[in-house]
Amino acid sequence: MNDGLPASAPRILLAIETSCDETAIAVMDEKGHVPVHRIFSQIDQHRPFGGVVPEVASRCHVEALPPMLDEVIAAAGLDWSAIEGVAFTRGPGLATSLLTGMASARALAYRLQCPITGVNHLHGHAVSIRLTRNGGMKDIALPALILLVSGGHTMLLLEETPARYRLLGQTLDDAAGEALDKGAKLMGLGYPGGPEIEAHARTGDPAAFAFPRGLARNQEASHRYCFSFSGLKTSLMVLLKREPSLKESRLADLAASYQEAVVDALMLRVVDALDHLPIRTLACAGGVARNARLREKLSAAADHSGVALALTEPEFCADNAAMIAASARLLNTWADPVAADLDVLPGWGLGEDTGTPHH
C-alpha cells in the first residue's frame, strides 16, 4: 500500500520503542516490510518485584539499546547511512523509559542527518493490525472496529479514515491485561499473568465459576462501549478468601472461568458495536490479543456479522518497534532533529494531537 510514498518521505526507517519494560528496535523498508525487528523483554529483571519497576526499566533500556541497535543494522544487512528516518515512542508510558528511547533516537537522527518523529504508542498498537510477517503493510476495509487490549489500556476504536481513530469507549478502571495480571497474582501464578492464566485455562472448565462480566449491557449512552474489570478481580479475591484451597484443588477451572469472564466482558461490547455500527472489519491489537480464546471468539463474531477479520499477528501484539515504524510511516510527520522541540508525553492519549507530534 506504500508504493505511492510522497517524494520527500524517508524510505528506510529505524524505530525505537521503550515505553515500558520492553526494549524494541525495528527496521522498515519503503514497502512497509519489516526485515528485522527485535524485542528484548525485561520480564526476568522485574519478576522478583511482581510488576514493572520504573528505575530498573530505564537502566535496562540504557544498557540494551547500543548493542541492539548495532545488531539490528547488521542483521538487516544495512549500512547506518541507509537509514532515512528515525521514529521513537513519545508516549504514553514511563517517563524515564521514554526518555532513554528519545535520547537514542535523537542522537542517531542527528548523527545520520535524517528526520525524526515521535510516535504515540497506542497509535502504534492500532496500526499493528496492518503488519504482515513477510510482506508489506496490508489494506484494511474501513470502517474498522478495533479492540485495543494491552496491560495498560482497553479501548474500542473506530477507524473510518486510514490511521485516524475515534475512541468509542474504554475501561473505567483496570485494563483487561491488568485484570489478568492481578487475577494471576491472586491465584498464585507468575507475572505476566495473561499467558499464565491462558496456559492453566487449557485444561479447565470455563463455566466452573460464575464471575461477573463487567458493566451490564444497557448502560447510559456515554458508557455504552466502556469496560470495567475491578468487580471481576474483587469477586475472585472474595472467593479465594473464603476458600483458599481452590488455588490448589481447582486452579485450571479458576483460570478458565476467570479468562472466560475477561473475554466475555470484551466481547459484549464488541458485539454491541458490530450490531449497531456500519463496520467492515473487526480488528484486535495489543498484548492480550495473543490470547487464543479471545481470537477464537472474535473470529466467530466476525463470521457471524459477515465482516472481515484483522487480528494483529501474534508476533506484533505485545510491545514492539515494528508498530512504531508503521505509525511513523502512515502519519508521515517528520521533524528536524536539531530544530525540533522534542519531549516525551507520558500521559499521551489516543486522538489527542496524534498526527502532529512536533510543535
Residue 290 interacts, among Zn ion, ligand KG4, none and using kind-specific CB cut-offs from 5 to 8 Å, with ligand KG4
286: left (phi over 0), alpha (psi -120 to 50) or beta: left
How many residues line the site for ligand KG4 (CB under 6 A)?
Answer: 19
Minimum CB separation of residue 19 from ligand KG4 in Å reads 7
Residue 163, all three cell numbers = 490511521
Binders of ligand KG4 among residues 238 to 257 (CB under 6 A) are none
Q: Which does 54 bind (CB under 5 to 8 A by kind): ligand KG4, Zn ion, none?
A: none
CB of 94 or CB of 168, closer to ligand KG4: 94
Q: With respect to ligand KG4, which residue has the nearer C-beta, 32 or 177? A: 177
Taking the CB of residue 311, how many other CB atoms lie within 10 A of it?
A: 19
Cβ distance to Zn ion smaller for residue 274 or 323: 323
> Least CB distance from residue 20 to Zn ion, whole Å?
7
- Supply the minimum distance, in Å, between the C-beta of residue 290 and ligand KG4: 4
Tell me which residues in 26-65 interact with ligand KG4 (CB under 6 A): none
Q: Is 66 helix (H, G, I), strand (E, B) or coil?
A: helix
Closest CA to 60 of 37, 38, 43: 43
3-state secondary structure 1-63: CCCCCCCCCCCCEEEEECCCCEEEEEEECCCCCCCEEEEEECHHHHHHHCCCCHHHHHHHHHH
Alpha carbons 19 and 320: distance in angstroms, whole number? 10
Query: Which residues ranging from 149 to 208 are in contact with ligand KG4 (CB under 6 A)?
Result: 150-152, 177, 180-181, 192-195, 198
Smallest separation, CB 211 to ligand KG4 (Å): 16
Contact string 311-330 vs Zn ion (x = CB under 5 A): --------x-----------
Residues linked to residue 144 through DSSP beta bridges, in sequence order: 159, 281
Phi-psi region of 93 (alpha: psi -120 to 50; beta: other; left: phi over 0): left
Q: Residue 18 or residue 117: which is nearer to ligand KG4 going by CB?
A: 18
Among 204, 286, 337, 357, binds ligand KG4 (CB under 6 A): 286
Please report, to the nearest 10 degrees, the dihedral formed by the alpha carbons of residues 281, 282, 286, 291 taken in order: -140
CB of 126 vs Zn ion, minimal distance in Å: 11
Among 119, 215, 232, 318, binds ligand KG4 (CB under 6 A): 318
Report, in Å, the least distance between residue 39 CB and ligand KG4: 9
Amino acid at 221: A
Instruction: Decide: is 101 part of the binding site for ligand KG4 (CB under 6 A).
Output: no
Is 44 exposed, middle or buried, given 0-12, 13-18 or 19+ CB atoms closer than 10 A? exposed
Residue number, 253 or 319, with CB nearest to Zn ion: 319
**Binding partner of residue 291 among Zn ion, ligand KG4, none, CB under 5 to 8 Å per kind?**
ligand KG4
- The Cα 182–Cα 195 span in angstroms is 13
Size of the site for Zn ion (CB under 5 A): 2
Q: CB–CB of 50/185 below 8 Å?
A: yes
Q: Show contacts with Zn ion in window 143-172 (CB under 5 A).
A: 150
For 68, half-sphere exposure in the C-beta direction (CA atoms, 13 angstrom radius) is 26
How far apart CA 145 and CA 283 sit, in angstroms, is 6
Q: Which of 100, 291, 312, 354 binds ligand KG4 (CB under 6 A)?
A: 291
Rule CB under 5 A: which residues touch Zn ion? 150, 319
Rule CB under 6 A: which residues touch ligand KG4? 20, 150-152, 177, 180-181, 192-195, 198, 286-288, 290-291, 318-319
